[in-house]
Amino acid sequence: MTNLVARLTESAAAHRERPALVFEGDETSYRELFAASESFAAGLDERGIGPGDRVGLVLSNLPQFVVAALGTLRVGGVLVPFGPRQSPSAIATSLDEVDAEFAIALSEDTPVLRERCSIPLLPVESGEPVEESFGDLFGGRTVPVHPATTGDPALLAQVNTENGLSRRVILTHGNLLAAARVAGGLVPGGLQQEDGTLGSYPLWHAFGLTTALLPTLFAGGRYHPTGRWSPEGAVSALSEESITLWYVTPAMLRDVLAAGGLRGNDLRFCLSVGGALTPAEREAAESAVGVGVHVGYGRTETSTVTHVNAPDETAPPGSVGRPVSGVHVSVLTDEYTVAPPVETGPIGTGDALDVGSITGEVVVTGPTVLHGYYGDPVRTEDAVSTVEGNRLYHTGETAYRDEAGYLYPFERATDGLRSA
The pLDDT-based confidence of 71 (bands split at 50, 70, 90) is very high
Within 10 A of 161 (CB to CB), how many other CB atoms are there?
13
User: Does some domain include residue 114?
Assistant: yes
Taking all residues of the chain, what is their mean pLDDT, rounded to a whole number?
87
The pLDDT-based confidence of 110 (bands split at 50, 70, 90) is confident
Average pLDDT over residues 220-244: 92
Q: Which of 202, 176, 197, 242 is nearest to 8 (CA)?
A: 176
d(CA 71, CA 69): 5
Helix (H, G, I), strand (E, B) or coil at 8: helix
User: Does some domain include residue 95?
Assistant: yes
Q: Exposed/middle/buried for 391, CB within 10 Å: 0-12, 13-18, 19+?
A: middle
User: Does some domain include residue 67?
Assistant: yes
Instruction: Classify the C-alpha dihedral 389-395-397-400 as positive or negative.
Output: negative
Question: For position 129, what pLDDT does the model report?
Answer: 46
Average pLDDT over residues 288-310: 92
Residues paired with residue 26 on neighbouring β-strands, in sequence order? 23
Reply yes or no on whether the pLDDT at 408 is more than 80: yes
> Number of structural domains, the chain?
1
Question: For position 325, what pLDDT does the model report?
Answer: 92
Within 10 A of 128 (CB to CB), how many other CB atoms are there?
10
* Encoded amino acid at 83, one letter: G
* Helix pair 231-240, 250-258: axis angle to 10 deg: 80
Question: For position 420, what pLDDT does the model report?
Answer: 34
Are 183 and 211 in contact, with CB atoms under 8 Å apart?
yes
Q: Exposed/middle/buried for 67, CB within 10 Å: 0-12, 13-18, 19+?
A: buried
Q: Which of 99, 106, 188 is nearest to 374 (CA)?
A: 99
Phi, psi at 57, each rounded to 5°: -125, 105
| Digit-coded pLDDT (tens) for 136-146 | 778 777 889 99
| Digit-coded pLDDT (tens) for 382-405 | 999 988 878 899 999 999 898 889
User: Residue 51 sits in a domain of what CATH number?
Assistant: 3.40.50.980
Within 10 A of 215 (CB to CB), how many other CB atoms are there?
28
User: Does some domain include residue 284?
Assistant: no
The pLDDT-based confidence of 350 (bands split at 50, 70, 90) is low
**CA-CA-CA-CA torsion for 252, 254, 256, 262, nearest 10 degrees?**
120
Identify the domain containing residue 85 by its residue range.
Answer: 1-11+28-148
| Digit-coded pLDDT (tens) for 157-191 | 998 765 556 789 999 999 999 999 999 999 999 99
Within 10 A of 1 (CB to CB), how many other CB atoms are there?
12
User: Does some domain include residue 340?
Assistant: no
Reply yes or no on whether the pLDDT at 243 is more than 90: yes
Are 357 and 331 in contact, with CB atoms under 8 Å apart?
no
Q: Which of 366, 348, 365, 368 is nearest to 408 (CA)?
A: 348
User: Does some domain include residue 323?
Assistant: no
User: Does some domain include residue 2?
Assistant: yes
Question: For position 273, what pLDDT does the model report?
Answer: 92
* Pairing, β 293-298 against β 269-273: parallel
User: Does some domain include residue 21?
Assistant: no
* Pairing, β 102-105 against β 328-332: unpaired
